[in-house]
Amino acid sequence: MFKTSIFFLAISFLIFVPTISYQEQNAGSVEVTIKNENGDRVTPDLLSVKVYQDFASVPLKEITSIPNNPFTVDSLPLGHRYKFEVYMNSMYGDVAFVDLQKSQDKVEVIIKNPGGMRLSVFYGDGETPLTNADVWIKSFDGKSWGYSGTDKDGQTLRVWLYPTMKDADYYYAEVSLGPDLKYVQTPVKLLPNVAQELKVVTKWPIIVDKLITIEVYNTTNTKVGKSDGEFIAQLYDGKKNKLADSLVSDKGLAGFAKLKVGTYALHIKSKSPDGQLITVASKKITISGPESVFKIYLHNPELNSEYLNCNCVAFRLDDIQDYFLNGAQIDILNVFAQKQSSLTIGIIANVFGDDPKLMSLIKDMIANGNFDLEIANHSWTHRIMPALTKDQQADDFAKSNKKIHNVLGVTPTTFIPPENLYNDDTIALLKQNNFTQISSHTSTSKAPLFQKSSLYYFPAATQTSILDRQEANWKVQSIDKVLDGINESLFNYGYAVVMMHPHEFSTYSDGVYQNKVNQTQVQQLGLLIDKIKSQGLKIVTIDEISSFDKPVPQKQPTASMPKEPLTCNCVAFRMDNVQDFYLNDVQNAAISKFSEKNTPLTISVIGQFFGSDPKAVNLIKEKIQSGTPLRIANRGWEYVDHAVYDKEKQAASIKKTNDKIFQILQVKPATFAPPMDSFNKETIEAANQNKIRYFSASIARDPPPYTDPLKHVPSTTLFANLIDDDPFYAGTIPEKALAKIKLNIRQNGYAVISLQSQDFAVRDEKSSKNEVDSSKLQFLDVTLDVLKSNGISVVTLDEIPSILENKSLVIPDQIKDNADSWSQGKLSDSDFTKDLEYLVEQKILQIPNSQTDAEQKIPSWIKATASWWVDGKIGNADFVKGIQYLIDNGIMRI
């Protein structure tokens, strides 16, 4: 079916106002129910009703905003006959009469069932399909009721709308190849209960036979000449594919022939002395047949474009509210903060302000100003604006802006209409209430030409996911698909707005979205931001777009891809929430799988719930005593968000857990993995106070850089995400899992996979059972083998910082060769000390101020350390730490 809107409601309650009041004395009310012929009630958003009294030709009431079906019309004077005339999709439906003699009455209006239409769109020859065109279906009053793109056969999706019962009623189809290239087919009549096939033959030729001439001007009235240099004209499509080029002659002319109808980006490039082509002027031109000469100006860019040209992208996160999928909301905000990229968030005010996690984060981001965060109004209760009267809309804006200001100290100037729908009343009220931007979607309202205004229209033209209304979930779009939409919007409008919401960044199971973050999608978002920046595009907030109101010459992107972090080419597995009794058979099976394959594993233990289950405790003791590479991490005393505790209580939780683990396992954890991956600065201080060395939350909650004393090794993905059959990865599920892990390593330098017992348990409809799901355990087995066969090391979590430090510290091979000779007695102490002096000069080693120049012989046992380093048993950083320790303690002098 056609997309009639992009959004659906993301909150679990609404405030409906089913009664439309008109206060009069001696009046009654009529409850109106409107149904299709098949007995289904009609969606109220499509309805409008005119109420006539007796034989009047002018309506007593016109009701254009109907909140529910049935609905009540009251304050109708008694003793009169009323006619209720019903319209759907602006088309006449039917009529019903009520002779109102009592205070309450009812009426039911039965209207015809909808009819369907699918369009097949062709070029002017009537045979060649017109592909990749945008098609809007509109009623005679200009309202848009459906949208679809055309496929390879020129066909749209089928839309079901109410039939045209009167001669004056009709629809029309608007076919577009861009903002400047439209064709209208009118009238379109629609029958009930029939799936019609309609053929649309546009006026456009397949190929424009005329020579397209480009005139290149040096001034407003003088073309470029030979003395101005060498120029070339190039044509690109909306996806930045170069289609043709033509040398600019000494008379300032270039030409193109045999072009398809469409809109193109024209770039004039000059040749630099070193042969590089530099863009000096750009213009968008539309070729459809009639016009064949286009002028472009090198030094007057304002003459080349009627469009905004900010060369920028704004991200819009809708449906911000308390608690609902707040994990995804928080992680998305953190990604933009980590990437230092601007973001606009749309707040549903009636359900905002009581979630401490969300409030704390947003307030901190506003106060700290680490990145540009714009607060937008997304309505009071997410009711669509056309379903509200003008007074109700005014009340909505007043209440929502007041609430947002009271909570955050910010008054929004950008409005994001629920489901991207609004009407003329909305626009009038936005202007009255000092809003300066509205952002809907191009599928519901096309972007107008940019011009100075008190209210700017910046609709989203692409999105990170699309709602599948039949399956009631969101289908994620690939990065390439989103980038195509961004480039097309930049091409058409000079800017792009990307729409997001928390659903596509949350896990979906059992037919509902869970408050559990889909880390794969969060990582994909980070990669999308990197790719946008690599194209030389600015990421801005919606309210910043209008500041780019003067066209400027486009420049070729000069930004390089973000520098990839140093990589250990390694992965660690962190098994969380290890505890007594709960899924203990499954828990033991997973731990045993790592032991069986002699593969390192870090387990995080919940202190209060560990130590009484012989089955769980004895297995872990056995693995530790047998030398299995198993590390124990501290998960806190209780599985409670530690950020709600003060520093003292957090420190007590960590200490109590460490003491208990040592009492039971004779191991003192050096790693703290905060419950729910949630923490604050007091958590870091409490961990440091307890001599914790490694800190492991999640990369979304704990992005780099890190400035505290702890070594941060956050999880980068969930095991549950690895086993998902994501549609934008190719291959088998294990191959997709490998690709996700490699992406983690490329983005962060390493991968840490968080897993839990539930990941390997058989599930019924409501919960996990203490029974191993052999297929998932087998998937783990295969994944470990795949990692090994691809040369990716599996390490314990606390090994990662040391590996990265060793790789980051570069020591010349000559020094290692000399260390080898010295360890074998082939090089004197004084000669080897000269090599160490080089490390001092490079500030790799530090010399204490108190050190004297007295000569001292280097202890011979230190040669063993050098030998281990040469043999690769310890890394560069470990060798340097060893030498530095000897220097600091006066054992060695340089």
Per-residue pLDDT tens digits for 133-180: 989 899 998 888 888 889 999 999 999 999 998 988 999 999 988 777
Same domain for 461 and 424, yes or no, is yes
Type of residue numbered 295: K
pLDDT above 70 (res 559): no
> Residues 503-509: contacts with CB within 8 Å, 24+ apart?
503/10, 503/325, 503/328, 503/465, 503/473, 503/474, 504/464, 504/465, 504/474, 504/476, 505/325, 505/328, 505/331, 505/332, 506/325, 506/327, 506/328, 507/720, 508/473, 508/474
Beta sheet of 277-287, edge-to-edge order: 242-247, 231-236, 262-271, 277-287
What is the token pair recorded at 347? 């707040």
Nearest to residue 590, comparing CAs of 796, 758, 795? Answer: 758
Nearest to residue 525, comparing CAs of 543, 485, 498? Answer: 498
What is the token pair recorded at 723? 């086993």
Q: Tell me the pLDDT band of 239, cut-offs 50, 70 and 90.
A: confident
Residue 199's pLDDT is 95
Same domain for 76 and 160, yes or no, is no
Residue 391 lies in a domain: no
pLDDT above 50 (res 229): yes
Residue 393 lies in a domain: no
Overall number of domains in the chain: 6
Same domain for 168 and 88, yes or no, is no
Residue 46 lies in a domain: yes
Same domain for 828 and 795, yes or no, is no
Strands 506-509 and 751-755: unpaired
Nearest to residue 712, comparing CAs of 695, 731, 687? Answer: 695
Residue 3 lies in a domain: no
Residue 852 lies in a domain: yes
Residue 759's pLDDT is 92
For the ranges 162-176, 691-705, 731-745, 811-825, the lowest mean pLDDT is seen at 811-825
Beta bridge partners of 267: 234, 282
Same domain for 452 and 414, yes or no, is yes
Pair 521, 505: CB distance under 8 Å: yes
Same domain for 288 and 367, yes or no, is no
Question: What average pLDDT does range 549-574 have in this prediction?
Answer: 59
User: CA 239, CA 488: separation in Å to the nearest integer?
Assistant: 6
Same domain for 355 and 492, yes or no, is yes
Instruction: Give the list of residues 6+ apart from residue 545 with CB closer than 8 angstroms, or none.
Output: 308, 310, 312, 314, 437, 456, 458, 495, 497
Beta sheet of 19-20, edge-to-edge order: 19-20, 71-77, 27-36, 104-111
Residue 272 belongs to a domain with what CATH number?
2.60.40.10
Same domain for 588 and 735, yes or no, is yes
Nearest to residue 610, comparing CAs of 665, 686, 676? Answer: 665
Is the pLDDT higher at 701 or at 11?
A: 701
Residue 619 lies in a domain: yes
> Computed from CA positions of residues 847, 848, 849, 851, in that sequence, does the dihedral angle turn out positive or negative?
negative
Strands 570-578 and 601-605: parallel
Same domain for 360 and 479, yes or no, is yes
Residue 77 belongs to a domain with what CATH number?
2.60.40.2190
Same domain for 362 and 227, yes or no, is no
* Domain closes at, from 70, 96, 111: 111
Residue 93 lies in a domain: yes
What is the token pair recorded at 336? 């933009």
Whole-model pTM over 0.75:
no
Question: What average pLDDT does range 863-890 have in this prediction?
Answer: 69
Pair 56, 98: CB distance under 8 Å: no
Residue 691 belongs to a domain with what CATH number?
3.20.20.370
Same domain for 587 and 719, yes or no, is yes
* Domain closes at, from 742, 773, 805: 805
* Domain closes at, from 201, 224, 242: 201
Compute the half-sphere exposure of residue 109: CA atoms within 13 Å on the CB side of its CA: 28
Residue 846 lies in a domain: yes
Angle CA 356–360–365, to nearest 5: 155
pLDDT above 50 (res 877): yes
**Position of tokens 């996160």?**
317
Residue 729's pLDDT is 65
Same domain for 160 and 211, yes or no, is no
- Tens digit of each residue's pLDDT (9 = 90 or more) over 636-669: 999 988 888 899 999 999 999 999 999 999 999 9
User: CA 263, CA 691: separation in Å to the nearest integer?
Assistant: 64
Q: Tell me the pLDDT band of 861, cut-offs 50, 70 and 90.
A: low
> Computed from CA positions of residues 822, 825, 830, 831, in that sequence, does the dihedral angle turn out positive or negative?
negative
Domain membership of residue 288 as a residue range? 207-303
User: CA 104, CA 222: separation in Å to the nearest integer?
Assistant: 79
